Amino acid sequence: MFVLLSPLLVTAAHAVPPSRLSDLTLTEVQADPNVVAPYYGEWFEIHNNTADPIELNGLVISRAGQSITVPSSPPITLGALDYFVFGASADRDSGATDYNGNVEVDYVYSYFTEFNISAPDDAISLTYDGLVLDTLDWDSSWDLVPNAAHQVQPNALGNEWANDLSWNWCPADSFIPVSGMYGTPGSANDQCSAEYNRDNDGDGYSEFEGDCDDEHADIHPDAVDGVEAPNGVANDDADCDGIRDDGITDDDGDSYTEVDGDCNDGDTTVNPGETESSNGVDDECNGCIDDVDEDGDGWTADPECAVVCDSDHDGDIDSSDRLCYDCREGDASYNPDATEIPYDGEDQDCSGFDACDEDGDGYEATSAYGVGCSGTDCDDTLAEVHPGAVENNGNGLDDDCDGTVDVPDADGDGYTVEEGDCMDLDEESGTAEQAALSGQVHPGAREACFDMLDNDCDGWIDNLPTCERGLGGASVKGGGLCSTTGEGAAGIAVLGLLLTATRRRRA
């Protein structure tokens, strides 16, 4: 029995016969449904994995002593990357005796005389002119569901080896209207739940990203496909490209296979025997692009192939060193071994920045040192001079880089403003009376009562218990003066003089 249902597929223009493994693969199987009679509702799907239309005439689909042979005429062609559905019935009328569950079938075979699939345990093979294109072999552990077609995940669609792994198959989720069946006959398969997006074997690829065996970490799209099967299965497809062991074939004829290290087996000018040139290509297949030492300084320019070098020039390579590469190929004066010229805005030693902290105090020099610097260190020759340092009076340096050299002790009481003197006035910065009072105010002084001065510079005025009489506890922090009588009034007069004074003088 043979009935062709898809006239659009009847074209021989530019079609080619299948010629290698995986040109055609089995992608979906509906076996033994029970919402419709199995001898009408059974079907299976194949896929053209090539970029060319494929001739189906002469294709043999076989199982356990049964087979379907697509006749030699009329010509039947399956379009590039297209699907084709074989079924026991093409009747989609739910009122018909031979109702197939509303599945659009391209080719009808006889369930009784040609082909019938067993859900618990079966194997189907696609063969053309003696060449086995694909074999799908399952058993009861695959758990085929009666009314949901079992379908391969898209990652194994064009891979005749990967589509024989049970974990790459699952029941379809797409509902076929009316019938109560599930499947995607003639169209893209469903993803198999969240597992499809999960990298189960930790090789950096999920099924969605092309991993055709997500149970073995040595099988993924970046693996090298060779005779030695990484997962223990002989003649496999480790790089998941749909072709078994193609890594041992020298496709471009340059005497190197992928197993030999050829990183582009379609280009004769790329292989481990080539000499690297500056062309944006990894000519010698060492993983580095344009790693050419054109200037002869001993370093190449590809950051991807940087190595740890003695970047701090201490004679030892340790955790303080960094990855190094030639940051200006073509100029031998620029490389990780070059001597850095400070403050010139150039990166001679390829460290990523110009040298601007020559004294090693952790502060970059100011722009006054050169165009390459924009820091705040006012003296990049002395490590003790930098922002935040303690001013050392008398050394003639602006230790803290605040713009003032040596903060003086204006009133001669032994304390500077930097040392906590809260009143440091002389006759130049204040009046003679203020200068005289200023010498009584410093962190080492004893607090006195009723003078309205913070003698010990602790932030409080007249804050002794004995001072509570008379002024009533006048304070700076406490909210002002509480009495204007007697000695308190005199104190206010003194305070008025003090408030006009400048507290700090810069030399």
What is the domain partition of the chain in residue ranges? 3-192, 194-248, 356-404, 407-507
What are 473-486's pLDDT values in tens digits? 444 443 333 323 33
**pTM higher than 0.75, yes or no?**
no
Q: HSE on the CB side for 497, CA within 13 Å?
A: 19
pLDDT of residue 173: 92
Distances (CA, A) of 74 to 4, 86, 128, 194, 394: 9, 16, 17, 43, 108
- Residue where the block lists tokens 């024989």: 164
Residue 230 pLDDT: 55
Show the tokens assigned to 340.
């850095």
Q: What is the pLDDT of residue 30?
A: 97
Secondary structure E strands in 77-227: 77-78, 83-87, 107-108, 122-128, 131-138, 150-152, 169-171, 175-176, 181-182
pLDDT at 219: 87
| Contact assessment for residue 425 and residue 504, using Cβ atoms and an 8 Å cutoff | no
The CATH superfamily assigned to 3-192 is: Lamin Tail domain (2.60.40.1260)
| Residue of 183, 134, 168 whose CA lies nearest to 31 | 183
Q: How confident is the model over 225-249, as pLDDT tens digits? A: 775 555 555 556 788 877 776 677 7
Q: Which residues lie closer than 8 Å to 165 by C-beta, 6 or more apart?
A: 156, 212, 213, 215
Q: Which parts of the chain have pLDDT scores under 50?
A: 7-12, 470-507
Query: Which phi and psi (to 5°) does residue 21 adopt?
Result: -50, 140
The reported pLDDT for the residue numbered 98 is 95
Q: State residue 498's pLDDT score.
A: 43
What tokens were used for 407? Answer: 């903060």
Mean pLDDT (the chain) is 82
Beta strands, E only, 97-226: 107-108, 122-128, 131-138, 150-152, 169-171, 175-176, 181-182
pLDDT reported for residue 378? 94
Q: Answer positive or negative: Cα dihedral of 437, 441, 446, 448.
A: positive
Q: What is the DSSP string of 426-484?
A: -TTTS-HHHHHHHTT-STTSPP-SSS---TT-SS-SS-SGGGGTTS-S-BTTTTB----
**Which string of DSSP letters, residue by residue, matches 259-280?**
TTT-S-TT-TT-STTSPP-SSS
pLDDT for position 168: 86
